[in-house]
Structure 1
């Protein structure tokens, strides 16, 4: 059979392309042709309409609303989450075959396409699942601002060290008055260019909390949630409530806007509800809530957390590194992993940090730990090929690059095939790396990039040593556990039936 498919995930990075590859390979192995359109963070290359028309069925493996969904109308269709396509591609393809054979057309009519930013929340899911989906929507739209702002700030610090002739440049650049520099900008001055990069990065970081809050609210209430969500996030930033305040305003704004949008109003008011009434009332209430009621208590909690982080040293920082490392290795790009990552990147947004600030050490520990699992699986498939299937060995080759680029999802195919052995190994090795990185005092001012931002890492040697040790630990544990499994399987096969033996 011929299938067309669309894959997308909340962040539009790893799962989108891993699902596409899994469907293509699995379909080919089963004798089917699968053409995939990836709707990732860099956009998409739409499938030719002639290919769609010639297809027998359609597979939507998406966690966001499929763009241009009406193109596939009239075809037998299955709609699954992107993780199912990564973890169970054979079952997904089998379900698509069954849909074609049944002849039931489930695709929507033409015009059923999202008119706004992508999000996908399963209305029939459990409350806990919905909360995760709402949160991940906000995080997915926040990450590009994190990457752009963080790398610009990191480049500013690198340039400043050259401009001032030493490590003190990373501090000196923060002391210059940006307005004065821009008023009489000298394009030949490296110092002033470093100020431009720093301010641009800080402006991008200034959107983190409003974007997080706004798109959490959008996931809950659709377009009516955007305005109060962004206003609430900006208010959280104004009072110093930070990331935690953005979470609170995101959920509060979403539910408030959803409630107001369901009011029964006269026909004459319906036209102005989405333009005036909903944004006005919801923004007013959320503004009062954050600026007057809960903003300061949350800000005090954030200040306490910041003071605690600043005071960390010795054993306590190592314990924090162990915890964050274990979280990064636990679900490989899932909610627990994203909580640890968000905790690290929001710390980078704090202005006026010293070059060796604890927040930068946390970012280094989180990134190093997040690289461990895919690198370890790549190593294990190289040194003990017989313990892995042919498909896993092929995935191992790709995992080298994914791990080096800080894409933890590169280990997901292995975890899907053998969950407890891979996850246990990943948690232990990632925790070891996180703890060692903190012990060495490595720092990182960029939120992403893996080995490609090595020049931005303070004590890069310690960072690499921690990464290598964690990778070796994880690879060793997974090899031992898989060897024990295989040895036990051989022993069971060698057990001889006593009656048969006597005969």
Structure 2
């Protein structure tokens, strides 16, 4: 099978009509549906936007590669779109858009072909051919010619005598992984260097690095947006950057990696330990470690909350075999949600904090420490601390034993490190932390449960306002962490206020674009339609483009509307047993769903009215100007 079998002439649009990112994505998805390559276009589009919200797929060079795997895709496919005037895609001027669609069960061969296109696009000549092509047939011809030119570079003789190795890994393992690898290969090839890049793609690691590769390496570059196993590097210094930096600045990264002189310097010397480069992992990025744990924990929270809420639909005591209300299905849902999913929340949080700090060696001790926190009553906060203690203990012990003979290294990693670090974190939790932390948790729980009236309203306003303030930033994450801690303690009112804070901004802005159309450009009005869906789904990011364009008006409006909704929500003792999911979970997870929806709508209307009052009407010319993004003070 060849690339042209999945990028066929009828999958090419040489003259895209859309003049913005959303319109172009719609056009490409419609082509996918028109060619019967998806059985649910909206579902696939959501998968595309989920990927875009994680990190933009604009990769520079005038190219964007939106991509997703979805059960709605019937056949691995690439849809190509070209716009000669160009559009703003993820903040970058873009002319060529390749939408990669892969089914969940795509074969290795298909995924390799999809990834092959990414490497082709690193060629300036190939991109130029696509830009000047006058027909779909010329595009296909350019691809076929590029396939003939493409040759592996990893086994080429080194002219300079230098050897570059590396690992690339993006979130989906389809596009950016291979573009970064190709960029590094091309930059190294121009220097006459021998190259080997391990690509952690959707098929798993390919071109895997060996101990011999690391021993011979003169420079190492790791470009990744997800966790990679760097144990093969065995303590060598390396450049550690996001994937996009490798795509755009490969030459600079190779210069930096060569400057480490890893063949001449021993990284185990104290001098090397004392002078880590800013790009390298220092193990002290607390925010990243916490978010890593939270991201793995959230699915357990959501599933557990929804299943418990379903069990209550059969009756408050329907899960209890001793009750007259007993129902076996209620018992089933309660056991899955409360006894399984909720029981795993804190250990999963701690385990993946430890994994973020010390890779695989940190997982077991941190997770066991998290279970100790759960058993001992120190809960969410105790689990976070257990994750750090277990992770750093494993990291320190592993480094301390780096000089042990290689024949014993296997024993060190599977027995000695986990055994000692587990003892350390378990003893710390049992003898030091659990008792005072459980007392603190009991105090907080009692204080929160005792909040009524104005005090509850103030807390609700504060949480919702923080949630709406920076829409995914550190203030937002701080409020979310507090809500998750309370959720783990079976206090569900803060979760309701937080979801109000996340839903109000996009819905309020969407209402403003509908009611006060003359305050927005045509482009903004179109984007506002999507904000209805994003807001209803608790995807606050739908408000970000508007807030970025006009922060002095939009952000205060978002905070005020969210704070009012959150205050009313907590003042009326509204709870939510599923902290994510938006409108889809409210009917079953909230104790007062109609009142809750009313709080969200009231907050949204307040945001809408404030925006309408603060923003000035635009002239017809300004409204039709696609580049106009509102009057910023």
Give TM-score scaled by structure 2 length.
0.60
Q: Residues of 2 paired with 1:387 and 1:104: CA distance?
A: 54
Question: Equivalent residues in 2 for 1:86-485 (5 A)?
Answer: 109-113=196-200, 118-119=226-227, 124=278, 130-158=285-313, 160=314, 169-170=315-316, 172-173=317-318, 175-176=320-321, 191-202=327-338, 203-263=340-400, 264-267=402-405, 268-350=407-489, 359-456=491-588, 457-483=590-616
Q: 1:476: how far off?
A: 2.2
Q: How far apart are the structure 1 equivalents of 2:303 and 2:500?
A: 20
Q: Is the 8 A contact 2:100 2:114 kept in 1?
A: no
Higher strand share: 2
Mean CA deviation greater in 458-467 or 333-342:
333-342
Q: CA separation of 1:324/1:30 partners in 2, compared to 1, >3 Å: closer, same or farther?
A: closer
Deviations 1:275-301 (A, max 9, x none): 111111100100000011112111111
Deviations 1:454-496 (A, max 9, x none): 322222232122112211121222333332999xx9xxxxxxx
CA-CA distance at 1:250 after TM superposition: 1.1
Q: Is the 8 A contact 2:283 2:357 kept in 1?
A: no
- 1:55 is aligned to 121
Q: Gapped runs of 5+ residues in structure 2?
A: 1-13, 15-46, 59-63, 67-86, 125-167, 206-224, 229-239, 242-276, 623-633
2-side partners of 1:212 and 1:368: how far apart?
24
Residues 14 and 407, structure 1, Cα contact 8 Å, conserved in 2: no
Distance 2:461 2:484 in 1: 17
**Deviations, residues 208-259 of structure 1 (Å, cap 9, x unaligned):** 1111111111111111111111011011001000000011111112211111
Q: After superposition, give the CA deviation of every residue in 1:259-318 in whole Å (9 maximum; x if it has no partner).
A: 111113321322211111111110010000001111211111111111111111111111
Aligned Cα root-mean-square deviation (Å): 4.1
Q: Could you say which residue in structure 2 is the equivalent of 1:82?
A: none
Select the residue among 153, 157, 173 that pairs with 1:67.
Answer: 173
Cα distance in structure 2, aligned partners of 1:298 and 1:240: 7
Moved more, 385-394 or 322-331: 385-394
Q: Distance in 1 between matches of 2:180 and 2:49?
A: 28
Deviations 1:172-203 (A, max 9, x none): 1354369xx9xxxxxxx971110110110011
Question: 1:31/1:331 Cα in 2 relative to 1: closer, same or farther (>3 Å)?
Answer: closer
After superposition, the Cα gap between the structure-2 partners of 1:284 and 1:129, relative to the gap in structure 1 and judged at 3 Å, is closer
Q: Name the CA distance, whole Å, in 2 between partners of 1:31 and 1:445.
A: 43
Change (3 A) 1:483 1:112: same
CA distance in 1, matches of 2:452, 2:516: 39
- Relative to structure 1, the CA distance from residue 438 to residue 70 in structure 2 (aligned partners, 3 Å threshold; closer, same or farther) is closer
Distance (Å, rounded) in 2 between the aligned partners of 1:64 and 1:246: 28
Report which of the two has the higher share of helix. 1
Q: What SS does the corresponding residue of 1:447 show, helix, strand or coil?
A: coil
Return the structure number with greater relative CO, CA threshold 8 A, min gap 6: 1
Q: TM-score w.r.t. structure 1 length?
A: 0.74
Local SS of the residue matching 2:318: helix
